[in-house]
Chain A
Amino acid sequence: MTSLVIAEHDNAQLKGATLNTVAAAAKIGGDVHVLVAGGGAKAVADEAAGIAGVSKVLLADAPHLADGLAENVAAQVLAIAKDYSHILFPATASGKNVAPRVAAKLDVAQISDISAVDSADTFERPIYAGNAIATVQSADPVKVITVRTTAFDAAAAQGGTAQVETVAAVADSGLSSFVGRDLAKSDRPELAGARAVVSGGRGLGSAENFKILDPLADKLGAALGASRAAVDAGYAPNDWQVGQTGKIVAPQLYVAVGISGAIQHLAGMKDSKVIVAINKDAEAPIFGVADYGLVGDLFTAVPELVKAL
């Protein structure tokens, strides 16, 4: 029994989600290998070789693998899939994009967004926006899985002594091509992996008002998040969205400001260790999950809180 973890990276650095996925693979048992498919990604493979618990790193390096196109990456995974009992992807935008393509080609069901490993063939996963947890068993010969990264502690990034082995890159599918990327630049920690998150909702009222959260986030070393309502209203960028269909976070501290707490939003943050809600509506559902709730006007409460901390 050997598991293959598909590394998430930007060709220069390994992304943190890979470490959580390795941890999930370790819980399954057996050897853990990591595939780095990319372009000019040797440094990433070396980094992956250092992860504790990884016994081998496979590097497939080619220009047409650089941008993570699903057609090419899935073909690369399939080229080596026969050696593995479990193939795990982080449940990130790229993992979710590629994993089902691999599963369908292998004619196996995919198990999405697992939150726990019960045994080598039995896993837990949230359904209905996290309002229920399903325990599912797979009889397929290969288990293709995406891992909810916030549900597993990251494997240690150092201490491993795996060998890096180069594997032949598959040919370019020619079906799709990469045009461009527009990534938001930010000095703040990455939302999904942040220790603290400060999120704003429709209560902020405008994109301008969202800036009131900056000093609080700075003080806490927090990432900024947003509810769907705030994103749809244009107050915050798309990739800040926390919820069932956005990012799933589980930080030590989650501060919800001007967020009512629709079930779709709660699905993305209710596993946070400590939840703080600031809202002027005492009946808002967010108070049902908050450890500490403050009923009041956020425009006075947030600056006061910055001062008090």
Chain B
Amino acid sequence: MKVLVPVKRVVDYNVKVRVKSDQTGVDIANVKMSMNPFDEIAVEEATRLKEKGTASEVVAVSCGVQQCQETLRTAMAIGADRGILVQTDADLQPLAVAKLLKALVDKEQPQLVILGKQAIDDDANQTGQMLAALLDWPQATFANKVEVADGKVTVTREVDGGLETVSLKLPAIVTTDLRLNEPRYVTLPNIMKAKKKTLDTVTPQDLGVDPAPRLKTLKVTEPPARKAGIKVPDVATLADKLKNEAKVV
């Protein structure tokens, strides 16, 4: 079984981003970029399926600028067998990415696509579901446990109030939640090996997809700042403030 894993290059999760003064976006020039944390979990899960003998090949895909090659090399250092970059400078929104991925799925014919549940830059949480819709495949979002057997994938999902389990007919789409697994550290020998793995580049035009954005961003602003608070010396003062000043208890 072939597994396809889409990965996204995003601003590193430790970076506190700044809004540009002209309100056109956030300043990501000279900011550290990394693989989206949920996508690392997706690559790890696919690699574990391969190590168990369930998956025969793991293909990592990234859509975006040329530097996304680095993200694909990281995926290959974790365990992906090869990479495909859909190279474009266009501002890619989830619907466009889902269409690009559908075109690749049609070509590569994987049985399972594992994506992160959301990217930590646009916080959209859409691409996996959209890809499932375009392919008419079943989906299991926010996966906490994945088991593949007998042409089916059984997934335990994190939902409001607890967990639920669904069973999907393959081929299927799974999106990862935080607790699905702990991604392994990439080791230097594996980084070196990853450099020798195949990385193909295609364009949206090759795939017959128009990646033009559908939502127009009018402006990006700072969120309203909170008024600076105070430090209280002891519990009695705290209780008093909550009762008499904030009046919340």
Q: Is B17 on the interface with A (CB-CB < 8 A)?
A: yes
B85 within 8 A of A: no
Smallest distance from the beta carbon of B209 to chain A beta carbons, Å? 12
Most buried by B among A93, A228, A264: A93
Roughly how many angstroms separate A182 CA and B38 CA in the complex, as a whole number? 24
Question: A75 CB to closest chain B CB, in angstroms?
Answer: 10
| Chain B residue at smallest Cβ distance from A241 | B178
Binds A, one of B62-70, B122-130, B192-200: B122-130
B84-120 contacts to A (CB < 8 Å): 93-95, 98, 117-118, 120
| Alpha-carbon gap, A276 to B61, bound state (A) | 44
* Pair A232/B179 contact, Cβ less than 8 Å: yes
A308 to B, closest residue via Cβ:
B239
B226 close to A270 (CB less than 8 A): yes
Of the candidates A104, A134, A295, the one whose C-beta lies within 8 Å of that of B134 is: A104
Assembled-state Cα–Cα distance A274/B120 (Å): 26
Interface residue range, chain A? 35 or more
Q: Given A136, A228, A270, which contacts B218 in the complex, CB threshold below 8 Å?
A: A136
* B231 partner, pick from A179, A273, A293, A304, beta carbons under 8 A: A293
Given contacts A112-B125, A309-B249, A178 and B164 within 8 Å (CB-CB):
yes
Q: Are A128 and B123 in contact (CB under 8 A)?
A: yes
* Cβ A92 vs Cβ B120 within 8 A: no
> What residues of B have a CB within 8 angstroms of the CB of A96 in the complex?
125, 129, 141
| Cβ-defined contact, A181 with B239, below 8 A | no
Chain A residue at minimum C-beta to C-beta distance from B102: A104
Question: Please, which residues of chain B bring their CB within 8 A of the CB of A98?
Answer: 129
Interface of A is mostly: mixed
B221 near A135: Cβ-Cβ < 8 Å: yes
With A109-B215, A138-B215, A264-B13 as known contacts, state yes or no: A71 contacts B235, CB within 8 Å: no
B160 touches A228 (CB 8 A): no
Residues of A within 8 A of B189 (CB): none
Q: Which residues of B contact A133 (CB under 8 A)?
A: 220-223
Contact between chains at A135 and B219 (CB < 8 Å)? yes
Question: How far does the alpha carbon of A305 sit from the alpha carbon of B126 in the complex, in Å?
Answer: 43
> B34 — which chain A residues lie within 8 A by C-beta?
none
Q: How far is the CA of A308 from the CA of B131 in the complex (A)?
A: 54
A64, B96: Cα distance in complex, Å: 31
Q: Is the CB of B167 within 8 A of A253?
A: no
Q: Which of A55-63, A202-210, A284-292 contacts B (4 or more CB under 8 A)?
A: A284-292
Query: Given A138-B214, A182-B162, A294-B232, does the pair A97, B242 have CB atoms closer than 8 Å?
Result: no
Select which of A112, A130, A263, A276 is within 8 A of B124 by beta carbon.
Answer: A112
- Bound together, the chains give a CA A185 to CA B146 distance in angstroms of 24
Query: Once the chains bind, are B167 and A177 in contact (CB under 8 Å)?
Result: yes
Chain A residues lying within 8 Å of B38, measured Cβ to Cβ, are 245
Near B by CB (< 8 A), chain A positions 217-238 give 220, 228, 231-232, 237-238
Q: Residues 152-196 of chain B: 1 if any A CB is under 8 Å from the residue's CB, otherwise 0? A: 001001111111111111000000011100000000000000000
| Residue of B whose beta carbon sits closest to that of A74 | B133
| B231 x A295 contact (CB < 8 A) | yes
Contact B166 A178 (CB under 8 A): yes
Does A132 lie within 8 Å of B249, measured CB to CB? no
Query: Distance in Å from the Cβ of A295 to the closest Cβ of chain B?
Result: 6
**A65 touches B (CB below 8 Å):** no
Least CB distance from B15 to A in Å reads 9
> Of A71, A237, A244, A292, which contacts B230 at CB under 8 A?
A292
Q: Let me know if A51 is at the binding interface, CB within 8 A.
A: no
Take A132-B223, A180-B164 as given contacts and tell me if A101 and B129 are in contact as well, using a CB distance cutoff of 8 Å: yes
Q: Pick from A103, A180, A287, A292: contact of B126, CB below 8 A.
A: A103
Q: Within 8 Å of chain B (Cβ to Cβ): is A170?
A: no
Q: Which of B139, B178, B230 contacts A232 (CB 8 A)?
A: B178
Q: Does A308 lie within 8 Å of B235, measured CB to CB?
A: yes
Q: Let me know if B236 is at the binding interface, CB within 8 A.
A: yes
Of the A-B pairs whose beta carbons lie under 8 Å apart in the complex, a sample of 15, sorted by A's number, is: A93-B157, A104-B130, A109-B213, A110-B130, A132-B26, A137-B218, A138-B214, A176-B139, A190-B161, A196-B248, A239-B160, A245-B38, A291-B229, A292-B232, A292-B241
Binding site for A on B (CB under 8 A): 11, 13, 16-17, 19, 26, 38, 93-95, 98, 117-118, 120-134, 136-142, 144, 154, 157-169, 177-179, 213-223, 226-227, 229-232, 234-236, 238-239, 241-243, 246, 248-249
> Could you tell me which A residues sit within 8 Å of B by CB distance?
67, 69-71, 74, 92-94, 96-105, 107-113, 122, 126-140, 173-184, 190, 192, 196, 220, 228, 231-232, 237-239, 244-245, 247, 252-253, 263-264, 270, 273-276, 282, 287, 289-296, 301, 304-305, 308-309
